[in-house]
Structure 1
């Protein structure tokens, strides 16, 4: 191999390494940003469980709470940029595949595409909120869910579309919860870099946090199905109303306390993923 070819190969490897480092940094920033949101939502839900109903336990409420902190504007911009990094990472998985033996499969790329679209929306909403330096954070998640459901119901076969979407959310919630309980996230973590105690703590946060997150998704999906069956958009619920519904069960606010604590644990688990996830 001549000197020119060797230099060209070196430049290609350098570009790949730089791209890999940039994507890894974006992924870890995004996971940390996700952790912040879940910590705040869980904390707000705990306040609701103990009688403080003044804030919304959803992304809008979390952003409003963050904006009230010292250097709130800086924190909001950092959060939005971190979530944009998450979207960039998911886009890279669509284009180049993800880690794991089946990382380049069509199924994994499709999941990555869905996550990319979701995090683009979330990052946009956070950055828009930061640019406005306040406001509604994009509006109540409950109002957004009801408006979207109403528009969908007006479409041809709208009831079927909303019902199918609700069922899909229920299935996704069950999938999230079951995978968490079975500790499927082990496949994505650098377990060898953890001490036994750290691994146990990560398992507590991953299992309990993932189960709580999956339960919230599933219950939100059930409300969407009810809205479709009854043809009543107001029956659809966003994150805030979904969490409040746990307090209306026979277990009272204690079920909400457990779910809220689980969301806090999932926030902590997201920080662990930011530290030890294989990207």
Structure 2
């Protein structure tokens, strides 16, 4: 092992031993679960015709901002997400030693990817807290898709991105069905808790796959406005046969992901 890698591992182990770090990680996991509960509530509102509901991460943060002490709550959530960034970086450097070879590498790469996600959520939380949060909806996705589609082979690139997002969603569905999320816990979930956690992973995977499908549809139609985020994906679902019923089921499933976060809070293997 190189000196740089050894120093990184030593620093990661030192961070793991700090009580303040462990406490902040717990705050972050609670924040992540709370965000999914709010998104589930907003998705239910979309299902029942509330066109002002924004069932996305941004919409959930804005919903929290409207609660009493909303600004303070968003700062706490932002700090919690920063702690989750550190948590996943630590896991990426020194975690998953119970696995060998390629599986350990995949787990660690997944931790680094989650660190990026949590960093985005931390930035969004703090931006919303100081009044700089961007509006909900798919404007960001549309702008990104427009820029990509104007490039040489742009539509093909958008298709590739969409298929990549779908692949992430399918992987989460498989994780929910197979119960591989138990590999993240010190105590394996069984029975009803296992099925509730699995439902959360499956619902998230379906929602992410729908987002990827919107990117592919945008490329095929050569229309960047077809692209969108979570809110657009869930709204599009309501336009399908039995779409409202499906969205209600999906919203309940997303709420179940908060149940998974509760177990992660108590039994995370790599915290």
Q: TM-score range by the shorter chain?
A: 0.7 to 0.9
TM-align CA RMSD: 2.4
Tell me which residue corresponds to 1:142. Answer: 138
CA apart distance, 1:257:
0.5
For residues 37 and 50 of structure 2, what CA distance do their matches in structure 1 show?
A: 17
Give the Cα–Cα distance (whole angstroms) in 2 for the partners of residues 99 and 254 of structure 1: 43
Matches within 5 A, 1:84-123: 84-98=82-96, 100-102=98-100, 105-123=104-122
Structure showing greater radius of gyration is 1
Q: Determine helix, strand or coil for the equivalent of 1:191.
A: coil
Match of 2:4 in 1: none
Residues 43-95 of structure 1: CA deviation (Å, up to 9, x unaligned): 01111212322221112211121111111111111111111111111111233
Instruction: List runs of 5+ in structure 1 lacking aligned partners.
Output: 1-12
Partner of 1:125: 124
Correspondence list, 1:209-220, <5 A: 209-220=200-211
**1:261 alignment partner in structure 2:** 252
Q: CA 1:129/1:165 → structure 2, altered by over 3 Å: closer, same or farther?
A: same
Map residues 184-199 of structure 1 onto 2, 5 A cutoff: 184-191=180-187, 199=190
Alpha-carbon distance between aligned partners in 2 of 1:248 and 1:16, rounded to the nearest angstrom: 50
Structure 2 portions without partners, runs of 5+: 1-9
Contact 2:13 2:90 survives alignment (8 Å)? no
Instruction: Please say which of residues 34-43 and 151-160 is displaced more in the overlay.
Output: 151-160
- TM-score normalised to the size of structure 1? 0.85
Cα deviation digits, residues 201-240 of structure 1 (max 9, x gap): 4213211111111001111111111112222111112110
State the distance in 2 between where 1:54 and 1:60 align: 13
Q: Is the 8 A contact 1:80 1:126 kept in 2?
A: yes
Distance 2:220 2:62 in 1: 34
Report what 1:222 is aligned to. 213
